[in-house]
A and B are shown apart, each in its own frame.
Chain A
Amino acid sequence: MTIYWNSLSDFIAMGGYAGYVWGSFGVTALIMAVEPIFVARRKGETIRRLKRQMRNSDF
C-alpha cells in the first residue's frame, strides 16, 4: 500500500496526461457536488410553495 508517486508535481503532471485525467475527475467532482445542492434547493422551494398553498386554502 505504498504511495506510487515520488513527488507532488509528478502526481499533478500525471505523466503528461494531466489535462485528460484532471478534466475527468474535476467535472465528475463538480457534478457530484452541484447535483445534491440543486436537489436540496428544489426541496426548499417545494416546501415553501406547498406551505403557502396550505395557508391560503385555510381562508
Chain B
Amino acid sequence: MSIYRFSSPSTFYPLAGKLIPVFAALSVLFGLAGLYLGLLVAPTDAQQGEGYRIIFIHVPASWMSMFIYLVMAFWAAIGLAFNTRLSGMMATALAPTGALMAFLSLWTGALWGKPMWGTWWVWDARLTSELILLFLYIGFIALQSAIDDPRRADKAGAVLLLVGVVNVPIIYFSVKWWNTLHQGASVSLTKSPSMAATMLWGMLLMGLCFWMYSIAVAFARVRTILLERERHTEWAKAVLAGETK
C-alpha cells in the first residue's frame, strides 16, 4: 500500500469522512484549552491592559489566512505539474475558509487598532497586504465560479494562486521591511519569546484550534466537491445510493 492510494478520490472520500470528527474534536479541545489560558489565566499586558487579549484570535486567524493560501498554492502547483484531480478540489475547498480567516484577521485587527492606535484602519504595509490577501481569496472564488468546466476552473485558479503567492512573504516580512504602525512578530523562530509562558501557550493552542478547524471544514467541503465532480463514477454512485437524504 502506498500513500498515492489516498490521492485517488474513491479512497480519499471515506478517509476524509473518518478524519473529520477527529479534527473537529481536536479543534474543540485545543480551543477550550487556549481560551482557558488566554481569557482566564494569562496575566494582563503592561502596555495594552486587557485589550491585548484580542491577540489570542488575531494571531491564529492571521497565521491561518497566510498558511491556507500557501497550502492552496502548493496544491495548485501539484495540480498543474501532475494533472491530479484531487489537488484542484483541495484548493477550491480551502478557499472560503481562507477568506474567512483573512476577514477575521482584518476584523479583529480593526477592533484592536481602534483602542491602541486610535484608528480602525491605516493604509500601512501589513494591513494593506493582508487586505490584498482577502481580495486574492475572493478573486480565486469568483474566477472559479465563472468557469463552467471544473478542470479549466482548476487550471485558471491555480495560475491565480501561484501569481498571488508572492503576497504572502510580503505580509509576513512587511513589519521588518517598512515602517509600520503594526507591531513586530509576536513569536519568532530565531528569538526566545518575550511574552509570558501562559500567553504564548494560549496563542499556540488557539493556533492549533484554528488549524484543526480549517482541516475539518475543508475536508467536509472537499467531500461534497468530490461527489459532485465524480457523480458519473461507480464509487460516487455507490456512495449516493447509500445516502438516505
Q: A residues touching B (Cβ–Cβ < 8 Å)? A: 1-5, 11, 14-17, 19-21, 23-25, 27-28, 31-32, 35-36, 39-40, 42-44, 46-48, 50-51, 53-54
Whether the Cβ atoms of A46 and B104 lie closer than 8 Å is no
Q: B51 near A46 (CB under 8 angstroms)?
A: no
Cβ–Cβ < 8 Å partners of A36 in chain B: 216-217, 220
Task: Give Cα distance in the complex from A21 to B223, angstroms.
Answer: 35
Contact assessment for A17 and B231 in the assembled complex, using a CB-CB cutoff below 8 Å: no
Which of B54, B216, B228 contacts A50, CB < 8 Å?
Answer: B228
The verdict on A24 contacting B49 (CB below 8 Å), with A39-B224, A48-B245 known, is: no
Q: Specify the chain A residue showing the minimal Cβ separation from B48.
A: A17
Q: What interface size band does chain B fall in?
A: 35 or more
Nearest B residue to A48 by beta-carbon distance? Answer: B245
Q: Are A35 and B217 in contact (CB under 8 A)?
A: yes
B217 surroundings in chain A (CB, below 8 A): 35-36, 39
Which residues of B does A touch, CB under 8 Å? Answer: 39-44, 49-51, 53-54, 57-58, 61, 96-97, 100, 103-104, 107-108, 111-112, 114-115, 198, 213, 216-217, 220-221, 223-224, 227-228, 231, 236-237, 240-241, 243, 245
Interface of A is mostly: helix
Q: Are A54 and B240 in contact (CB under 8 A)?
A: yes
Residues of B within 8 Å of A39, CB to CB, are 217, 220-221, 224
Interface contact B40-A4, CB-CB below 8 Å? yes
Known A4-B44, A51-B245; judge A27-B107 contact (CB<8 A). Answer: yes
Q: Is the CB of A24 within 8 A of B240?
A: no
Chain B residues whose C-beta falls within 8 Å of the C-beta of A47 in the assembled complex: 227, 240, 243, 245
Q: Which residues of B contact A1 (CB under 8 A)?
A: 41, 198
24 cross-chain CB contacts under 8 A? A3-B40, A4-B41, A5-B40, A11-B40, A14-B51, A15-B49, A15-B51, A16-B49, A16-B50, A17-B51, A19-B111, A20-B54, A20-B111, A21-B111, A23-B111, A24-B111, A35-B96, A36-B216, A36-B217, A39-B220, A46-B227, A47-B240, A51-B240, A51-B245
